[in-house]
Amino acid sequence: MDMSRTDQGFDGDDEPVLDQYAIAVEQYTEIKAHIFHLWNTVPPVDGDHQELARFREEVLRVSNIVIPTIRGELQVVDPLSLTKIQQNIRTAALHDLEVMSEQLYNLLRSLPK
């Protein structure tokens, strides 16, 4: 048995389902940090329109492509193949993705068109 197992996932030598879980959790962690960065770098409303357009495009990309992709990756993992801690991490990540999606939607609504 591979002893490099952690609650975050596996090292790539385990079962495909567990590797898929590990990859999805890693992607979730990365996008969570990216969304935090987006929230802290909202361009000024009266600033450069191109910068605001690029920002809007990035928020849309994360909201419409990245979050649903990660959510799908987490949902296809069979929870019964995970430890209780991993199941809790998966459940929390799915909930966080929903919350982040709503926050990005509200952020988009607050930006000028």
Fold of the domain built from segment(s) 16-110: Methane Monooxygenase Hydroxylase; Chain G, domain 1 (1.20.58)
Per-residue confidence (pLDDT) for residue 77, from 0 to 100: 92
Tokens of 54: 């690029």
Query: What would the two tokens of residue 4 be?
Result: 């490099």
What is the pLDDT at residue 33?
A: 96
Per run of 10 residues, the mean pLDDT along the chain (length 113 residues) is: 42 65 94 94 84 93 96 93 94 97 93 80
pTM of this prediction? 0.79
Other Cβ atoms within 10 Å of 61 Cβ, number: 11
